């Protein structure tokens, strides 16, 4: 595979991560195609083929709704996220689409300064290589099934 | 250095990491050359020049043996790994070989969902740039000398 | 953006990280231009526009002084760092300069082998794309305002 798709996809992933970590949630739907799907699942459920995502949203409109309800929800304790990502592995699907798998780790920082390992797992994506690549599907597969209510914020 | 070796090596590292994290241990020996060597050491021993690796295996046959014994061993508690990697720095050795240094961090997730920082350190590799690059030598230098029995699984 | 600046900047970041993690602090000033500036701030202060860095140094001479005083300081407990970095996002400023944003996470390993998540945040850099790229400014924005005295060592 020539370098261009690799770097273009890594750039998409980087922009996504920085938007979330900077709390620019309103930008989040724009990383998806108009009908793009977003799903959070656990490794356990994926391995068993259980179609029960922790969260599912399809289409930018639904993703925007999600952000809006987050903005209006009472998150009692302010927190910040920091995403680390690595090992982006691409597979060509056709001339305009790739499948991307990469690992992630998210640190959560509470307002008192306490930091903890919040989540780890992998992103499994179907990406359209338009001028600015976009997610047609982003599946977040978390290693642990332990989640608290704060999971409401996109990973 | 032109982009190709950098991306080719990062792709090798990514495939390696995803194979381990997906518990595809049988694929592990195939990332090495026929006589490829694998070694786990601690930063302490490396700094002192002590030739006492925690683990040493040379050649695909020995790596396969290692996987087989792992499969037959009693690992009482199922666990999952997640590797994060970064900062891949290449040095050209000759037209067909590079030395690669990169950092890693491994999170271990137990069956009850508990996640912990398991290991950190660096990979120091000698890689042959064949059509599909392979490890001639992979040395895993762990920062900490604290290890428990689960280290039996390759890093 | 063509691949070259991306890979050249990632290589600069990688060399920086490996120098720190290998305790080659004397090399640290050489990653900066002659008048290069280094600053550590907290996300909180950055968001409020408070110009109160935790640490500020400008010019190689001052960076060298910093290393010298570290070498002569009494660090009672030896420790080691491991940096993980990801999501390097470049923005072209002009033909010879880019702005780079990337995420980091630092693990600290104490002499007894205990490892902990020490710091997370992002690097915001202004880089000159000379033959060997250099930092004109490197700002380390830490997520947490909790720091102990060991922060004295550069991040």
C7 to chain B, any CB pair closer than 8 A? The answer is yes
pLDDT tens digit sequence for A33-63: 999 999 998 888 887 877 677 788 999 999 9
Average pLDDT, chain B: 89
Query: Chain B window 75-94: which residues touch A at a Cβ cutoff of 8 Å?
Result: 80, 82-86
Q: Which residues in chain C are contacts of B89 at CB distance < 8 A?
A: 11, 14-15, 18
Nearest by CB to A82, which of C6, C88, C121? Answer: C121
Which pLDDT does position A144 carry in this prediction?
A: 87
Query: Chain A window 36-75: which residues touch C at a Cβ cutoff of 8 Å?
Result: none
Q: Which chains touch B (3 or more CB pairs under 8 A)?
A: A, C
Who contacts A20 (Cβ-Cβ below 8 Å, separation ≥6)? A28, A81, A83, A153, A154, A155
Query: Using the beta-carbon criterion (under 8 Å), do A82 and C89 form an inter-chain contact?
Result: no
Query: Using the beta-carbon criterion (under 8 Å), do A86 and B82 form an inter-chain contact?
Result: no
Query: Using the beta-carbon criterion (under 8 Å), do B103 and C114 form an inter-chain contact?
Result: no
Closest approach of A63 to chain C, Cα-based (Å): 23
Query: Using the beta-carbon criterion (under 8 Å), do B85 and A86 form an inter-chain contact?
Result: yes
Nearest by CB to C84, which of B86, B101, B146? Answer: B86
Query: Using the beta-carbon criterion (under 8 Å), do B105 and A105 form an inter-chain contact?
Result: yes
Q: Which residues in chain C are contacts of A85 at CB distance < 8 A?
A: 86-87
CA C6 from chain centre, in angstroms, equals 18
Q: Which chains touch A (3 or more CB pairs under 8 A)?
A: B, C
Which pLDDT does position C3 carry in this prediction?
A: 61
By C-alpha distance, the chain A residue nearest B118 is: A117
Query: Using the beta-carbon criterion (under 8 Å), do C83 and B103 form an inter-chain contact?
Result: yes
Q: How many residues does chain B have?
A: 155
Closest approach of B9 to chain A, Cα-based (Å): 11
How many beta-carbon contacts under 8 Å exist across A and C?
65
Q: What is the 3-state secondary structure (H, E, C) of chain B?
A: CCHHHHHHHHHHHHHHHHHHHCCCHHHHHHHEEEEEEEEEEEHHHHHHCCCCCCEEEECHHHHHHHHHHHHHCCCCCCEEEEEEEEEEEEEEEECCEEEEEEEEEEEEEECCCCEEEEEEEEEEEEEECCCCCEEEEEEEEECCCCCCHHHHCCC
List of chain A residues with pLDDT < 70: 1-3, 51, 74-77, 147-152
Query: Using the beta-carbon criterion (under 8 Å), do A80 and C43 form an inter-chain contact?
Result: yes
Which one of B82, B83, B113, B117 would you mutate to disrupt binding with A, by most A Cβ within 10 Å of its Cβ?
B82
List of chain C residues with pLDDT < 70: 1-3, 51, 74-77, 147-152
By C-alpha distance, the chain B residue nearest A6 is: B7
Which pLDDT does position C45 carry in this prediction?
A: 81
pLDDT tens digit sequence for B29-62: 999 999 999 999 888 888 787 767 778 899 999 9
Q: Which residues in chain A are contacts of B88 at CB distance < 8 A?
A: none
Closest approach of B15 to chain C, Cα-based (Å): 18
Q: ipTM of the predicted structure?
A: 0.92
How many beta-carbon contacts under 8 Å exist across A and B?
65
List of chain B residues with pLDDT < 70: 1-3, 51, 74-77, 147-152
Query: Using the beta-carbon criterion (under 8 Å), do B21 and A122 form an inter-chain contact?
Result: yes
Q: Would you state the structure tokens that stand for residue A116, as one six-digit string?
A: 């903890």
> Which residue do the tokens 């666990």 mark?
B79
By C-alpha distance, the chain C residue nearest A14 is: C87
Which pLDDT does position A149 carry in this prediction?
A: 47
What is the Cα–Cα distance from B113 to C29, expressed in whole angstroms?
43
B107 to chain A, any CB pair closer than 8 A? The answer is yes
Sheet holding C115-128, edge to edge: C55-58, C32-42, C134-142, C115-128, C97-110, C79-94
Sheet holding A134-142, edge to edge: A55-58, A32-42, A134-142, A115-128, A97-110, A79-94
Nearest by CB to A143, which of B15, B84, B115? Answer: B115
Which pLDDT does position C140 carry in this prediction?
A: 95
């Amino acid at each position: 595979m020539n370098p261009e798709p690799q770097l273009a996809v890594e750039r998409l992933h980087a922009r996504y991560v920085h938007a979330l970590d900077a709390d620019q949630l309103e930008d989040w739907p724009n990383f998806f195609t108009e009908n793009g799907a977003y799903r959070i699942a656990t490794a356990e459920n994926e391995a068993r083929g259980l179609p029960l995502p922790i969260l599912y949203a399809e289409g930018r409109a639904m993703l925007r709704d999600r952000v809006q309800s987050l903005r209006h929800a009472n998150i009692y304790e302010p927190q910040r996220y920091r995403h680390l990502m690595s090992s982006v592995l691409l597979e060509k699907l056709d001339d305009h689409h790739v499948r991307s798998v990469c690992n992630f780790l998210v640190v959560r920082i509470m307002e008192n300064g306490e930091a903890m390992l919040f989540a780890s797992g992998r992103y499994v994506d179907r990406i359209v290589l338009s001028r600015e690549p976009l997610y047609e599907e982003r599946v977040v597969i978390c290693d642990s099934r332990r989640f608290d209510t704060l999971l409401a914020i996109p990973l």
